Structure 1
């Protein structure tokens, strides 16, 4: 029985050592070809598990999402380079064999994939310098507004305020003007304007507007709200109040401004302050006589 198993093992070993490709210094056997796919698959499973473990540990320590994203990207690149080099070593393929091929590929890439390389490098700049981070609220070209969900090597995914996802090339975020509403913090200044009828007590109006703003819980107490008597309008006395809020989305700002307007309307009604509306006064000269044609 032992001799039978020994003969089987010997046959397997002989089969695995069969040379498929040989040169003066290197040779490729069946065993090399079979073990490489298993090694690559197991390696990528381990890499994904380790990357997930690192992300969970950093999340548990309350590390910012963009830092976690950058660490995972760096880990993936280093791990993949190690797997590729190890695979080439297992196959007995020297790195010098790729010198000419890599030079030709570099020339082809330089002419045919300039935009891809530009976006790739821009993506790493965004992740390293962090002018734009995950969960930041951006305004691009004064048209698109949205929250950053992920920064990838080629493009950045943004969810607009209307729920639509946008994929923006990374180079565009570096080469064009981008307004980052939350670059330093989430504090944003906004304002609400209202016009009251002529003859209103302007001191009372200013006090009521300030009270309406302070009643809104999302308005920050520091800096204090500022009420401005803005103008003597054609049909109203115009007031505008400036205040700071903590918000990360345009929708939040609109909701907060709406609540402030509700408060203003309620306080004005309680204090008999009239919100003005467009009107025209027509004065008829009494000296004009209307004659009837005979």
Structure 2
């Protein structure tokens, strides 16, 4: 459609609206409809003030409740700001039926009804929708559409947008088709993301399942949900999936050349989740020196968090093709040792019993698979060297200070028994006597 034609049509519509407004001002039927609009609005205000506190109490569960029913009640409560404009819309609809039965027309009150619907849409976008993407779609598409509908211009604008064709190579589509596609795709994928979040939360609460299996099921559901959402968008918009064959072929060629690593990392991630050899919460160390706690496993990479707060993104393929040391696999314990020494004038036969009893008092030291074991290591230059081996659940780093605590216990136990911890001594022999100093 030519822009000049659209402008001429807009001017005609403006003149028609101006004539309609002038007719309303001089028509008794129009004034009666204005009166009914005012009555409907104040009736909606009065009813809303009476119903809002009651609905607030019914739809607001205690803060401690987190059941599905409680969450559904909180979700419905989000839409309470729409109560006033929707009540006004309903009451105005009743008034419209009355005026049409009496006067045979209800253009004024129908306009008021559409105006209340516009206010409801504006409140929905401004106060209720919190998702950033949906908020942008609502602000720049949904609200303008509601405004055009309220003033009776929606059909003319839609005809103009449908006639405006955008060429894209061998393809062409109208602006209206593009807007519809964005709206439908945005709504469906938002619903898919919400469904995925709910299902992921439910799966992660199933503590009877292995963490790796929970991650695998969550990822499978995510792929399935968004795959269905994509097919729904294509079907609703009337796009044949056979027309995507060329695009699929291009993607296949890309996988064969430039996306090999991405495909390899994706498959490696699936293998990791299936085997469960490394999962979220494990502390791992790779051949390349990367070490940290697994905090997230994605389709492409695994994210490690070090004890100094840094994140390391490790491709999933590295967990398959290189050596990985897992310090915190489920049900395992780790062994550490704390070295110390005593002086040569100590009765070393008493030392193991003293140290083992002291270390066993630590709440984090395990008795299985083995209790604390104090061993004589060697006779050093300055003292007799020992080491106590102990088993703990967890890693001796970050929040855990097992070795430090055990060394404190060793120090205090030796001091209580009067055993000294030696320090290096050196004997210096002077073969040439020092010169005598004059008196």
1:208–1:267: 8 Å Cα contact kept in structure 2? yes
1:192–1:240: 8 Å Cα contact kept in structure 2? yes
The structure-2 alpha-carbon separation of the partners of 1:280 and 1:251, relative to structure 1 and needing over 3 Å to count, comes to same
Residue matched to 2:300: 154
For the pair 1:49 / 2:199, whether they are aligned, the reply is no
Give TM-score, length-normalised by structure 1. Answer: 0.81
Partner Cα separation in structure 1 for residue 232 and residue 199 of structure 2: 23
Moved more, 184-193 or 88-97: 88-97
The structure-2 alpha-carbon separation of the partners of 1:3 and 1:110, relative to structure 1 and needing over 3 Å to count, comes to farther
For the pair 1:79 / 2:79, whether they are aligned, the reply is no
Residue matched to 2:422: 276
Q: How many angstroms does 1:34 deviate by?
A: 4.8
Partner Cα separation in structure 2 for residue 289 and residue 83 of structure 1: 94
Partner Cα separation in structure 2 for residue 289 and residue 15 of structure 1: 113
Partner Cα separation in structure 1 for residue 298 and residue 199 of structure 2: 18
Partner Cα separation in structure 2 for residue 291 and residue 263 of structure 1: 47
2:338–2:389: 8 Å Cα contact kept in structure 1? yes
**Tell me, what secondary structure is at the counterpart of 1:202?**
coil
The structure-2 alpha-carbon separation of the partners of 1:82 and 1:55, relative to structure 1 and needing over 3 Å to count, comes to closer
Partner Cα separation in structure 2 for residue 120 and residue 242 of structure 1: 41
The structure-2 alpha-carbon separation of the partners of 1:102 and 1:3, relative to structure 1 and needing over 3 Å to count, comes to farther
CA deviation vs aligned residue, 1:204-261 (integer Å, no higher than 9, x gap): 21111112211111101222111111112222111111110011463355x1111111
**Tell me, what secondary structure is at the counterpart of 1:250?**
coil
Residue matched to 1:139: 285
Residue matched to 1:37: 182
The structure-2 alpha-carbon separation of the partners of 1:67 and 1:2, relative to structure 1 and needing over 3 Å to count, comes to farther
Q: How many angstroms does 1:291 deviate by?
A: 11
Partner Cα separation in structure 1 for residue 434 and residue 212 of structure 2: 83
Q: How many angstroms does 1:32 deviate by?
A: 5.8
Partner Cα separation in structure 1 for residue 205 and residue 252 of structure 2: 41
From 252, 255, 268, the counterpart of 1:106: 252
Count the aligned residue pairs: 280
For the pair 1:178 / 2:324, whether they are aligned, the reply is yes
Q: How many angstroms does 1:152 deviate by?
A: 1.0
From 263, 267, 270, the counterpart of 1:117: 263
2:192–2:229: 8 Å Cα contact kept in structure 1? no
For the pair 1:238 / 2:397, whether they are aligned, the reply is no
Partner Cα separation in structure 1 for residue 360 and residue 331 of structure 2: 21
Partner Cα separation in structure 2 for residue 167 and residue 289 of structure 1: 65
Partner Cα separation in structure 1 for residue 367 and residue 246 of structure 2: 66
Q: How many angstroms does 1:144 deviate by?
A: 3.0
Q: How many angstroms does 1:125 deviate by?
A: 2.0
2:203–2:218: 8 Å Cα contact kept in structure 1? no
Partner Cα separation in structure 2 for residue 30 and residue 169 of structure 1: 41
Give TM-score, length-normalised by structure 2. Answer: 0.56
**Tell me, what secondary structure is at the counterpart of 1:219?**
coil
Partner Cα separation in structure 2 for residue 289 and residue 136 of structure 1: 64
From 379, 397, 409, the counterpart of 1:250: 397
- Greater per-residue helix proportion: 2
Partner Cα separation in structure 1 for residue 423 and residue 399 of structure 2: 28
CA deviation vs aligned residue, 1:155-185 (integer Å, no higher than 9, x gap): 1111112221111111122211111111232
- Structure 2 alignment gaps of length 5 or more: 1-103, 111-151, 167-171
**Tell me, what secondary structure is at the counterpart of 1:52?**
helix
- Greater per-residue strand proportion: 1
